[in-house]
Structure 1
Amino acid sequence: MVSFKDTKQEGEFYQDYGRFVHYHTPSQLIRYYSNFFLYDEVPDLATFKADEKLQSDFHEARGQHHLLFIFPDNVELPHDLMLYAESASYKLEKMELYRTDNLTLKKRSGDVKVVSENDEIFADFLKVCRAGELEYGEEFADLKEEMHTRDLEDDSIIQLVAYHEDQPVGKLEAIINESIIELDDFYVLEGFRGLGIGSALQQQVLTFGKSLLLIADGNDTPREMYERQGYRKISERYELLKVKSSSD
């Protein structure tokens, strides 16, 4: 059974506490999903508060301004923990894992190219990436460009760029894991959505394997769209994220 454990983990292993694993990546301190606690079991409220202090002290000592806790698959959080998280200004996310072995797309538009070397196609890929990543600030966009350049040397990483009338307007990154392909990052420029560019990218990436996986935000997932495309939800998990201001 495929689960979230089969998806790509960007963070570097730091320490296993038994109940959870601490991921910490010194080169990516501002990236939430490179620095977090991944639980093997859901803690009670008192235990969570102790874990919270541990991560908070650790991050503050390194100039980090976020807290992120990821819980096990398909487990509801205790009511008192959810109430505490709300009162402490955490953002509760329910992430959903989808899979398809039979992608069904009604429309297709655009020319899709595979990035294979540091050339003009890769430059177009970076251009589209940066357009979406700037939403999180210049520093984050610069960090992601370093990661994309590193991924160019990784044979398990697929980088695709989609064109509309010779203009780069969409991109998709994916990870090959045997016959399963995980869609890692998927973006189409605003103004070019609804033209079938996303369908073209998905059709192209499916040529690398038999099944597709994607992780979506359950709070605003267009579930009906995924189901029409042939995806089915196979797992879900909760995450708690808190971003503190530098004055906190």
Structure 2
Amino acid sequence: MEVSFRNINIFAQVERETELYRHYQLDEVKDRYDSNFIEFLSTPTLSELQEAMNYLQHKHGQSGRQFLKAVFPQDEDIPLELHQYLLTNQFEIGCLEMYAIEPEFFTRELSRPDVTIEFVSSKTMEGYLAIHYQDAQQWGEGYAQAKQAMLKRDFEQKRKAQIVALLNGQVIGSVDVIESANTAEIDNLFVLPAYQKQGVGTKLQQFVMKQYVEKTIILVADGDDTPREMYTKQGYTYIGKQLNALKTSLD
């Protein structure tokens, strides 16, 4: 199956759509960068970029959001003129990479027999929330609290599958899965720092592969910190990249 960034779930509503871009917004978590941004459908000119960012700044200023984010078309580089404008205006340029795999090709290497993987239940919900609260605090207490509420609603409304890794009954890692007709998207994969690089993440993924054997498994990772060798070793195929620009303060 052919996949692209179009197959990646955007957890937000479309606030505005033009021929040039879509403006996504999520009032549920106002400070979530990945849910409040402009996605360009084609590479803008400098004046188009400026106009779009002025619009977004006005909208974010009205709602109390203190950041701007723009996402550019898949596999297209940002033209030099736009790149210079963004850097001059305190934007950071980032890159996401997309990977995909058919479950049968994922590594069969045995991993952590002492770790149990299961879907989140009322018994494990507290531990699941606790590790995500710990991780989210790096972006501020307000964001961490809002994310907790969002994860609870995900569970109550079954908006996604939530999976945990347990060691001696304690939650040490988790992953969410967003299912569509033909794909299952791995999202929010997280392992507590003390247990990272010890096979826990691999075992979480192996569980996903068994549960969604008829789907193409997809994921997006930070291109600046992507363990490409690990994904290749596990059997993933590189699909493409997507550049973005983020400004974290409107002061």
The TM-score with structure 1 as length reference comes to 0.93
| Contact 1:97–1:233 (CA under 8 A) maintained in structure 2 | yes
| Contact 1:85–1:240 (CA under 8 A) maintained in structure 2 | yes
Structure 2 unaligned regions, length at least 5: none
Per the alignment, residue 128 of structure 2 pairs with: 125
Partner secondary structure for residue 206 of structure 1: helix
Per the alignment, residue 85 of structure 1 pairs with: 86
Partner secondary structure for residue 72 of structure 1: coil
Per the alignment, residue 206 of structure 2 pairs with: 203
Per the alignment, residue 27 of structure 1 pairs with: 28
Partner secondary structure for residue 73 of structure 1: coil
The one-character-per-residue Cα deviations of 1:80-108 (angstroms, maximum 9, x if unpaired) are: 11111112111111111100111115341
Among 217, 222, 228, the residue aligned to 2:227: 222
Q: Distance in 1 between matches of 2:182 and 2:5?
A: 16
Among 219, 239, 242, the residue aligned to 1:234: 239
The one-character-per-residue Cα deviations of 1:137-191 (angstroms, maximum 9, x if unpaired) are: 2211111111111111344511111112322110111111234210111100011
Per the alignment, residue 106 of structure 1 pairs with: 109
Q: Distance in 2 between matches of 1:213 and 1:107?
A: 22
Instruction: Give the number of equivalent residue pairs.
Output: 244
The one-character-per-residue Cα deviations of 1:195-239 (angstroms, maximum 9, x if unpaired) are: 211111101111221331110111111111110010111121111
Structure 1 unaligned regions, length at least 5: none
Among 160, 168, 193, the residue aligned to 1:157: 160
Q: Does 1:137 align with 2:137?
A: no
Per the alignment, residue 37 of structure 1 pairs with: 38
Identity among equivalent positions (%) equals 27
Q: Distance in 1 between matches of 2:84 and 2:21?
A: 22
Per the alignment, residue 14 of structure 2 pairs with: 13
Letter in 2 for 1:63: G
Letter in 2 for 1:80: E
| Contact 2:173–2:201 (CA under 8 A) maintained in structure 1 | yes
Partner secondary structure for residue 191 of structure 1: helix
What aligned pairs does 1:58-73 form with structure 2 within 5 A after superposition? Answer: 58-73=59-74
Q: Distance in 1 between matches of 2:165 and 2:53?
A: 42
The one-character-per-residue Cα deviations of 1:74-133 (angstroms, maximum 9, x if unpaired) are: 111111111111121111111111001111153411111211x4x121112112221211
Q: Distance in 1 between matches of 2:108 and 2:139?
A: 31
Q: Name the Cα RMSD after superposition.
A: 1.5
Partner secondary structure for residue 97 of structure 2: strand
